[in-house]
Structure 1
Amino acid sequence: MNILITGGMSALAQKLARVFSAEDKVIFGDNVAIPDLLIAGGRYVVIPSGSSASFNHELLKVGISNESDLIIPLRKDEIVQLAACKDLFAEYGIQLAVPSHRLLEIVEFIVNPGKDLNTTVLLKGKIAGQGEPIESLENESGVCVVSDGGEELFFCCLA
């Protein structure tokens, strides 16, 4: 699977990349300064700010050019924008790890989760790399923190 994680210069992006298998190709995108050496290595790309009016279309172009199967946005403004256009990305075979509009309206996000928290990726109700979907979240996706007991999930993002 080809995966694009935004907020790529953050520790959270690097931590989430380890959730996936070694066979998966992870590329990091960010709108902050990325050293040319990292871009030249092919694992980092420059993307626009999530507050940009053209963010969705520019990110779609990046996703298509990198043959992405999955895009995991980490910044709140990116998540909100992309939740509105899941169908557009799906037309190109790209899954977005973002909650539904319904869920975005009712949940609060843990912003800038600490490194001690168990952050992972929820894809269509399943914790990445695990078995059965969580019954109440079977159609939801996003970056989340799993409670110590494993019975609660909290969505999280970068500021």
Structure 2
Amino acid sequence: MKILITGGNNAKALKLMKAFPSHFVLLADYGDVPGIITENYAFSSLGVLNKDSIAHILLNFCITEAIDCIIPLHHYELEPLAKSAVLFSEYGIQVLLPNADVIADYLTEEKVTYQNFVVFVHGDRIFSTEEGSIPANLSPKLNGVFGYNDADDLKLFTI
């Protein structure tokens, strides 16, 4: 599986790579990005940032790069991608975010540093930095990467 993580120039994106050891991870960001390619990961530029057409830029990039799953980390990408998830799925691309109708429950306006993060795919916990603190199965519709300091307060892991 080929996974795209946006915000690739940020250390948080690099932390997420350990959640996907058996997949190829493409770390991408807007503007200048280092040109590094290895067997397990690579860096790539998404081009010039245009917040008005984020979903279009990312869908085009995912199709061109044969991406199977996208994990958006920039705060301004979350809602447009959640609303466009059905379109992405028509191209066989999974958007790893909660549904658009509940995404606001997992957003925070303040900058918070999380000690831990957890990855859910269709409600199943596939990775956690702290085993046992988060149930292995939550709502079957829950998707995304969530940061937490308290297991009862999951927020999307963003930059």
- Provide the TM-score with structure 1 as the length reference: 0.80
Distance 1:92 1:142 in 2: 19
3-state SS, counterpart of residue 19 of structure 2: coil
For the structure 1 residues 110 and 144, does the alpha-carbon distance in structure 2 shift closer, same or farther, using more than 3 Å as the test?
A: farther
1:4 alignment counterpart: 4
Alignment of 1:106-145 (within 5 A): 106-109=105-108, 113-114=112-113, 117-129=115-127, 132-134=136-138, 137-145=139-147
Report deviation, 1:132. Answer: 4.6
SS class of match (2:60): helix
Cα deviation, 1:58-91, whole Å, max 9, x if unaligned, reads: 2112111221111000011101110111010000
| Contact kept? 1:113, 1:157, Cα under 8 Å | no
Distance 1:112 1:97, change over 3 A: farther
RMSD of the alignment, in Å? 2.6
TM-score by length of 2: 0.80
Looking at structure 2, the residues matched to 83 and 50 of structure 1 have their Cα atoms a distance apart, in angstroms, of 18
Structure 1 unaligned segments of length 5 or more: list them: none
What is the Cα deviation at residue 152 of structure 1? 5.0
Q: Deviation per CA, 1:74-117: give whole Å up to 9, x if none.
A: 01110111011101000010000112122223343375553x61
Given that residues 49 and 55 in structure 1 are in contact (C-alpha distance below 8 angstroms), is that contact kept between their aligned partners in structure 2? no
Gaps of 5+ in 2: 129-134
Q: After TM superposition, which residue ranges in structure 1, 4 or more long, deviate above 4 angstroms?
A: 48-51, 110-113, 129-132
